[in-house]
Amino acid sequence: MSWYVRSPQDLAPLEAWLNGGLGLPQQPVAPGLPVPGAVDADQFSTLGGLSPELQAFATSHARMELDPSLMWSQIFDLPSTGRDLGPLSGVQGADDLSREELEAAIEQIFGELHAEGLPLEGRPNSNVQHALATGDFSGLSAEDLVSLFDLLDQYRQNQNNAARIAAQPHAAVAPRGSWGPGGTNSYGGGGTHSGVNGSAPAPSGPVPVGPPPPGSTTGEALAHTAEQVANRMGTTGWCYRGAAESISQSMGVQLTGGSAYMAADQIAASGRFQEVEVSPENLTQLPPGAVVVWAQTDASPHGHISIALGDGREASDHVQNQLTSLRGSTNYRVFVPTDG
């Protein structure tokens, strides 16, 4: 949990807790990271900023070898001997935010990290991956949202050492490109598939059947544009805007409407794409520029749309691994750009 302290009197219970026999191990200062005395206020808090009192507190505990850039992780992520910090007057964390505020904060941090050079993506076929793809967090519990907020905040506080955060067993998001086929990331984390890192429902209902189609020169150009647009946007929840902008720029096809599923009939009627049937297991082998439009369901009222990059990834308003189901649905249509 991330906390900030608003007044000097709030430091007393925090210091008492630290000095209360928790048996905190000595934490060596991580090589290449700031040492006590070199505090960057932005690395501490998402909600209220670092007060002068808290800055002084951080640097006064050199005997514990607290690294300011990792301070909150060192304090709050370490196992204790049963003592609890308890409520602190004037201290605020993710538990104090409403669901709507949490979702907005998650989207904001996700975008900020992308803009600052740390693009993240959810574990393939996890609830988090589907939520980030569509911007619909209704499938995550309140506890999952708090955990995701905390995880993203840890990345923000430790951008120079993201591997340390990704290595956690429940790490539901990790730096882009680090997820492997075994359900863990290249840092060794993300292997506990429960809670915030829980797996999405298994596909059910009718399943399209077909091989991956051949590509086209037009499709390669569309994929190139789509990746550029997605990398520029770096948002979540705006998949239709990102895909529509890419298709318009690259192919001149204008898509309208407020939900991603509305694109399917428009693309089919444009005369610039060929619709093909592709099995879910072959979606990761789609050629560059193939457009996948997911239908509206109760679990995903806006559907989803993405453009294949030809390497197992998809682009919309950000780049992530290709979805092969959407919250248990395989109700999708695939369109391949045609040449000429």
Q: What is the 3-state secondary structure (H, E, C) of 173-235?
A: EEECCCECCCCCECCCCCCCCCHHHCECCCCECCCCCCCCCCCCHHHHHHHHHHHHHHHHHCC
Mean of the per-residue pLDDT values of the chain: 78
Please give the Cα distance from 280 to 264 (Å, whole number).
17
Single-letter code of the amino acid located at 127: N
CA atoms within 13 A on the CB side of 17: 15
Please give the Cα distance from 332 to 290 (Å, whole number).
12
pLDDT of residue 72: 45
Helix (H) or strand (E) holding 242: helix 239-251
- Least confident range of 34-38, 254-258, 295-299, 319-323: 34-38
pLDDT of residue 210: 92
pLDDT of residue 29: 29
Where do the domains of the chain lie?
8-92, 99-197, 217-337
Terminal CA-to-CA distance of the chain, rounded, Å?
A: 55
217-337 classified as CATH 3.90.1720.10: yes
Q: Can you read off the two tokens belonging to residue 150?
A: 């905390």
Q: Sign (positive/negative) of CA torsion 111, 113, 116, 119? A: negative
% pLDDT > 70, the chain = 72
- Beta-bridged to residue 307, according to DSSP, are 291, 315
- Least confident range of 4-13, 53-62, 96-105, 250-259: 4-13
Please give the Cα distance from 36 to 58 (Å, whole number).
7
- Beta-bridged to residue 321, according to DSSP, are 313
Res. 49: pLDDT tops 70: no
Question: Is the Cβ–Cβ distance between 231 and 210 less than 8 Å?
Answer: no
- Least confident range of 150-154, 238-242, 244-248: 150-154
- Beta-bridged to residue 320, according to DSSP, are 314
pLDDT of residue 204: 75
Q: Can you read off the two tokens belonging to residue 301?
A: 């009222």
pLDDT of residue 56: 54
pLDDT of residue 300: 85
Res. 82: pLDDT tops 70: no
Res. 175: pLDDT tops 90: yes
Q: In the predicted model, what is the mean pLDDT of residues 61-69?
A: 42
Res. 125: pLDDT tops 70: yes
Which pTM does this prediction carry?
Answer: 0.68
Please give the Cα distance from 333 to 208 (Å, whole number).
9
pLDDT of residue 328: 86
Single-letter code of the amino acid located at 289: G
pLDDT in tens, 191-241: 999 999 999 988 877 788 999 999 999 999 999 999 999 999 999 989 999
